[in-house]
Each structure stands twice: as C-alpha cells, then as structure tokens.
Homo-oligomer: A and B are copies of this chain.
Amino acid sequence: MKNIFIIGCGLLGSSLLRAIIKKNISKKVFIYEKSKSNLNKIKKLKIPCILVNDFQHAVTNSNLIILCTPMSEYKNIVLKINPHLTSKNLITDVGSSKVESFKIIKKYLKKDAIWLSSHPIAGSEVSGPEHGKADLFVNRWSILIKDKNSKKEHLKLLNNFWKKLGSKVAIMTADKHDKIFSITSHLPHLIAYNLVKSAQDFEKKQKYSLIKFSAGGLRDFSRIAASNEIMWRDIFFNNNNNIIKAIELFIKNLNSFKKDIQTKNNKSILEKLIQTKGVRKKIIKLKQDINKPDFGRS
C-alpha cells in the first residue's frame, strides 16, 4: 500500500498506526487528530508518522483513509474530505454500529467515493493514544460490511489489510452486524453501566460503603463500565432499535429469574444456571478469552 491516512488517533487510531509501522505495510502514515492533548501524546510516542491539519494533501496522497473518530464526528469528517476525494481513495471506518452511520455516509459522502466499512472487535476500557498497542488486532475478528454495491477488489484490499495486522476477517451485511453486536457487545456494555449505577444508587441510599467489597462480582463489570462515554453514547443512539429489543429480551429473562427466586422453583432455576455454563467453555475453545480462572488476574 502506498500511504494511509488515519483520522482520529485515540486508542484505536494509535494502535493502527503502531501496527502499520510494525508490519511495514505503508510508505507514509498521515494522522489527523483534533485534540491538542492527544497530539502532544502522539508526538511523545515518536512513532514515524506525519501529523496534518490540512486534509487536501493527506487525502490526495493516500489510497486508504481510516476513520477512527467517534461516529458522531463522521458527518464533519466526510464534509472535510469530500472536496479532495477521487476514485483512488478507499475509505473505511472502525465504528461499532453500521446501519445508522451508513445512512449519514450515504447522505453526505461525495457521489462515486468508495466507502467500505470495517469493525475490528478490539478495544479496551482505557482511551487515548498512549494506551494503543501494535498487537491489539492480533487474533481478533475484524468485520467487513458488504452491500449490493460493494466491489470484490475493495473487499479483497481491506481483507488483506486486516489480515496483515493479524486479524481474522468475517464479511456480513450492516443489518446482521448490528443485530449480532447489539447482543455480544452493546447490551453487555449497557448492562455493566447499569449495574455499576445501581450499586452507586444503593450505596447512596443505604449509606453503606460497599465498593471495597466488590471482589465478589461487581469488579468484573466495572471494567467495561469505565469505557469511553462519547463512543458508547454514539453506539447506543445509532443502534437504538436493536438495543431496545435486546433490553426487552433481557428484562423478560430477568423477570423469569425473579419469579424462580420468589417461588423457590428449584428445577427452573437450575436449568437456567446449568445452561449458561457451557458458553464460557465455548468462548475459550474459540480463543475469544484466555483459559485461566479469574482471567489469570492473580
């Protein structure tokens, strides 16, 4: 690949930068980052890259443009890159929901410009370029979004790109993507935020200091409830229909557990508690988590 232009250089953008440099898959990497604080951090990292303010030069000279900003920034970015885009640019993004963001892109992106969306299933509860890692994408899935207009050559190019970074690639429609990740990612994050909020409400009401006793379970949830709030607001709002359905399924199941507990229905609750145990084994077998009790923490 000739040159790559990364727009937004937080955790994801800086991990991409590190991985691209490490794997030597681009001559130059242009970086646009609007936060001054992040810019200073990137300079300190001393990773070879060209920090730009000017979109024209970077867009004109890059064959791959990757958006790593919150999804609520897409419209602004599209309007900035539009004047300089040609059919030589392939644009992708790493956003976590696809149907709504694609509507924005379709509405504002210059006709004939080529956008093929990606979603690397990689991240962390920490934000900012200083936390990026070159191996963030290794053995992780990266989802490519296809529709009836997607061209094979662009799918192939992005497929090769993510594979060079160590990812496995799956291709699906935006609709299927948003349904799957409403359950495997968006609902779990919302539930984690909600559980931590409930613990805070309880602590306030009861005037008990209880966070220090969080090792019995709560601490696992606190990790993903520490994730970046702008990114997650964008996801919750963009994938709202699927997430609302997921919330409703979750509450229906929780009420069934509640009934088991109220009526001490031994058979019904044990069926549920046994059924769910298998998933952990499956996740470990599929190499989606490490095979160590307690995440190998201690």
Contacts and interface: CB of A to CB of B under 8 A. Distances in A.
Nearest to A281: B226
A202 B247 contact: no
Contact of A222 (B123, B189, B240, B280): B280
Interface in A198-226: 198-203, 206, 208, 210-226
A217 B188 contact: yes
A34 interface: no
Interface in A166-217: 170, 176, 179-181, 183-203, 206, 208, 210-217
A152 interface: no
A213 B269 CA distance: 27
A103 interface: no
Nearest to A141: B213
A214 B281 CA distance: 12
A283 B214 contact: yes
A262 interface: yes
A229 B213 CA distance: 22
Interface residues of A, number: 105
A191 B198 CA distance: 12
Nearest to A260: B236
A220 B215 contact: no
B244 A262 contact: yes
A217 B182 CA distance: 10
A46 interface: no
B197 A180 contact: no
Contact of A232 (B203, B221, B273): B273
A184 B199 contact: yes
A253 interface: yes
19 contacts: A125-B294, A183-B198, A188-B216, A189-B217, A190-B254, A193-B276, A194-B254, A195-B250, A211-B279, A213-B288, A214-B288, A217-B224, A222-B279, A225-B277, A225-B279, A233-B269, A244-B261, A247-B257, A247-B258
Given A131-B293, A198-B253, A244-B261, 18 more contacts: A121-B216, A123-B216, A125-B280, A140-B215, A183-B202, A185-B218, A188-B221, A189-B217, A191-B221, A198-B249, A222-B280, A223-B289, A225-B277, A226-B277, A229-B277, A236-B257, A251-B255, A295-B295
Interface of A: 96, 121-126, 131, 133, 135, 140-141, 143, 170, 176, 179-181, 183-203, 206, 208, 210-226, 229-230, 232-233, 236-237, 240, 243-244, 246-247, 249-251, 253-255, 257-258, 260-262, 264, 266, 269-270, 272-277, 279-283, 286, 288-290, 293-298
